[in-house]
Amino acid sequence: MTSAGHIEPREKHLSIGGDWTLAHYATLRQQVDRVAASQPAGKQLDLRQLGGLDTAGAALLAELMGAEQLQDLARSSPYLSPERRALLETVARAMASAPPAEAIPAPTIRSQLAELGYTVEGYWNQQRLVMGFTGQVLSTMARLLPRPRRWRITSLVVHIQQTGLNALPIVALLTFLVGAVVAFLGATVLRDFGATIYTVSLVALAFLREFGVLLAAILLAGRTASAFTAQLGSMKANEEIDALRTLGLDPVELLVVPRVLSLMVTLPILTFVGMLSGILGGSLVCLLALDISTAQILAILQRDVAVIHLLVGLGKAPVFAFVIAVIGCLEGFKASNSAQSVGEHTTSSVVQSIFMVILLDAIAAIFFMEMGW
């Protein structure tokens, strides 16, 4: 049965006894810290009562005594076997050659400004890369559109099904629920002014101009942009994109353009469905909770809601779709040959797509407001 190691302070040395092994590391760690704090440095070690010894125990002895002093003791002590002498010398030599741990400097204003500068520079480089890739995609599309024989119809139809038809139920359900919530909030505020009848106009304008296209775009940014990045990133990791270039095929023409065009086709459709579902959800709340009849709802929509609001919402959809598809494909091309890189760029594509969609929507809202549209 083994006994835990111990340290007994003497007048001129420290007596080491028991087993200095990994099994007793926690106890030995406490003893070493206590002795190091209470005993003066430079005391020799008496190893006559030393029991078991492994690398963990040798490392603690090196901390207690110092790496160089432990090397000298290992060479001169007559109580050590050749195996233990070799173990102590190896551990002491390794700890002596290890670089000292550098203290982490406290953050200063200069370091924080430098970190902010690096972040801004990285963001600017990312935007330059996006703009360059956008130009490459646009030039490839301009070269392909006049040549119908070069169109990838099968790939386009497959991506339309994956990005549009498969996303239709979740877009309709989400916008329906958000429409109901907007109607409840609008009715709560307008009831104080005796104007609950305007809840119908509020829901209709909100979904025609903003919520319909914005919710659909955010859903596609999380659902489709991530899928594009994962697909292209996996192809990059498997060197399939390099194989396409070796065969003389353009990856942008073969992989990117069908995805961009499919998203530009499906997002306006999803936006229109989202508008209808949101208005339907709000109208249902008006019908059940506010006692506004179906005839009144239809009359308000026909009288107060102009077609320009529908066109504003649908006009933003192709732009959002183009940005989402380009960012998703670009992040896929940036991935390296590892699963971790593919995961990181997939996350990055979702974050960038949602950010750019909201930014462009805010810019468009200010522009349309100034134009009086």
Residue 1: the pLDDT is 46
363: enclosing H helix or E strand: helix 339-371
Rounded CA-CA distance 331/314 in Å is 27
Query: Pairing mode, if any, of strands 13-20 and 44-53?
Result: parallel
Distances (CA, A) of 335 to 24, 246, 287, 314, 352: 46, 19, 51, 33, 15
Q: Is the dihedral of CA 137, 143, 146, 152 positive or negative?
A: negative
Residues 2-60: tens digit of each pLDDT: 566 677 776 666 777 778 787 777 887 888 788 777 766 556 777 777 777 788 877 87
Mean pLDDT of the chain: 85
Count CA within 13 A, CB hemisphere, residue 5.
30
Full-model pTM: 0.69
Q: How many CB atoms neighbour CB 49 within 10 A? A: 13
Residues β-bridged to residue 46: 15
Q: How many CB atoms neighbour CB 300 within 10 A? A: 19
Residues 174-198: tens digit of each pLDDT: 999 999 999 999 888 888 888 888 8
Distance of CA 223 to the CA centre of its chain: 14
Distances (CA, A) of 191 to 185, 188, 297: 10, 6, 17
List Cβ neighbours of 36 (8 Å cut-off, separation of 6 or more).
Answer: 63, 64
Rounded CA-CA distance 76/74 in Å is 6
Q: What are phi and psi of 273, to 5 degrees?
A: -65, -40
Burial 117-136 (b: 16+ CB within 10 A, else e): eeeeeeeeebeeebeebbee
Residue 12: the pLDDT is 66
CB contact at 8 A, 271 and 213: yes
Structure tokens at 128: 């330059």
List, by residue range, all CATH 3.30.750 domains of the chain: 6-97
CA angle 198–202–204, rounded 5-degree value: 115
Rounded CA-CA distance 225/260 in Å is 10
Residue for token pair 């028991």? 18
Q: What are phi and psi of 195, to 5 degrees?
A: -125, 40
Structure tokens at 341: 């890189």
Q: Where is pLDDT greater, at 71 or 216?
A: 216
| Radius of gyration in angstroms for the set of CA atoms belonging to the chain, rounded to a whole number | 35
Q: Is the dihedral of CA 206, 212, 215, 217 positive or negative?
A: negative
CB contact at 8 A, 135 and 256: no
Q: Where is pLDDT greater, at 163 or 362?
A: 362
Rounded CA-CA distance 238/234 in Å is 6
Residues 195-222: tens digit of each pLDDT: 888 899 899 999 999 899 999 999 999 8
Structure tokens at 81: 């076997």
Rounded CA-CA distance 258/253 in Å is 8
List Cβ neighbours of 284 (8 Å cut-off, separation of 6 or more).
Answer: 180
Query: Pairing mode, if any, of strands 6-9 and 44-53?
Result: unpaired
Residue 99: the pLDDT is 61
Confidence category of residue 100, pLDDT binned at 50, 70, 90: low
List Cβ neighbours of 173 (8 Å cut-off, separation of 6 or more).
Answer: 277
Mean per-residue pLDDT for 66-73? 75
Which alpha helices (DSSP H) does 257-338 contain, by range? 257-289, 294-304, 307-334
- CATH number for 6-97: choose from 2.60.40, 3.30.750, 3.30.310, 2.30.30: 3.30.750
CB contact at 8 A, 230 and 333: no
Percent of the chain at pLDDT exceeding 70:
93
111: enclosing H helix or E strand: helix 109-144
Residue 101: the pLDDT is 53
